[in-house]
């Protein structure tokens, strides 16, 4: 029996420059992840020196996509349900405009969640948090801005609806969009003895113009 002289092929050896690039990429990823987690932590943590000093930077990272509806050590669940509807005004090639029927955006989300063992986070929270963001930055009496992020909240809510509705309806271009929000207080349990909540309130926002910029990045 002859002894085989074959040897296993050596493993892949990275060159020095390649190792340097991989190391730098790993360092950037780890640093970026750490900074993002730190910003979210400061956002949900009780007010402290760091969160006050870097509030602008933290808000820039968190809002609007990563906003959290709770505070560290003190959860604050919502006590009301908001049902968001939208309708659009379209324009035909001849210039005639038409106001379309209301579309139940929240109703669509609820239908997607019901009987789903693993509902999407988008279906559960995206629209709801967008409305909370808008509601917290506008006066409900006249929709006047009460927060520097108010315009961002309007744009965020509008783009979520337009992503679902599209650029056209029945071949007619979307010209304007309007929102209607019905808010109902979550009723207390029967054993609590508390009074029944008031009737739901309906809030209609003004018509907002829709342009190509509103669809940027929506596909």
Name the nearest CA neighbour of 110 among 76, 88, 133, 81. 81
Q: Does a structural domain hold residue 88?
A: yes
Judgement on whether residues 142 and 53 belong to the same structural domain of the protein? no
Judgement on whether residues 25 and 102 belong to the same structural domain of the protein? no
Q: The domain containing residue 28 runs over which residues?
A: 16-62
Judgement on whether residues 151 and 192 belong to the same structural domain of the protein? yes
Judgement on whether residues 143 and 209 belong to the same structural domain of the protein? yes
Per-residue pLDDT of the chain (219 residues; tens, 9 = 90+): 555 555 555 667 778 888 889 899 999 999 999 999 998 888 888 888 888 888 888 888 888 777 776 666 666 666 889 999 999 999 998 889 999 999 999 999 999 999 999 988 888 889 999 999 999 999 999 999 998 899 999 999 999 999 999 999 999 999 999 999 999 998 888 888 888 889 999 999 999 999 999 999 886
Whether 50 contacts 42, CB under 8 Å: yes
Domains: count for the chain = 2
Helix (H), strand (E) counts: the chain: 7, 7
Q: 15 — phi, psi (to 5°)? A: -70, 165
Judgement on whether residues 128 and 169 belong to the same structural domain of the protein? yes
Q: Does a structural domain hold residue 2?
A: no
- Alpha carbon separation from 171 to 6, 55, 166, 189 (Å, rounded): 70, 45, 11, 48
Judgement on whether residues 131 and 49 belong to the same structural domain of the protein? no
């Amino acid at each position: 029996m002859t002894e085989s002289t074959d040897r296993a092929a050596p493993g892949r050896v990275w060159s020095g420059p390649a190792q340097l690039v991989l190391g730098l990429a790993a360092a950037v990823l780890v640093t970026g992840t750490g900074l993002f987690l730190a910003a979210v932590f400061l956002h949900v943590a009780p007010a402290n020196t760091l969160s006050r000093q870097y509030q602008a930077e933290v808000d820039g990272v968190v809002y609007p996509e990563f906003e959290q509806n709770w505070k560290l050590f003190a959860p604050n669940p919502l006590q009301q349900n908001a049902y968001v509807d939208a309708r659009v005004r379209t324009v035909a090639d001849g210039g005639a405009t038409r106001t379309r029927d209301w579309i139940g955006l929240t109703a669509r989300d609820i239908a997607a969640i019901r009987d789903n063992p693993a509902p999407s986070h988008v279906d559960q929270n995206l629209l709801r948090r967008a409305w909370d963001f808008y509601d917290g930055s506008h006066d409900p009496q006249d929709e006047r801005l009460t927060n520097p992020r108010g315009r961002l909240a309007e744009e965020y809510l509008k783009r979520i609806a337009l992503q679902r509705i599209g650029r056209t309806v029945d071949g007619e271009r979307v010209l304007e969009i309007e929102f209607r929000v019905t808010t109902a207080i979550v009723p207390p349990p029967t054993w609590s003895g508390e009074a029944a909540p008031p009737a739901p309130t309906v809030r209609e926002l003004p018509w907002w113009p829709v342009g190509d910029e509103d669809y940027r990045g929506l596909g």
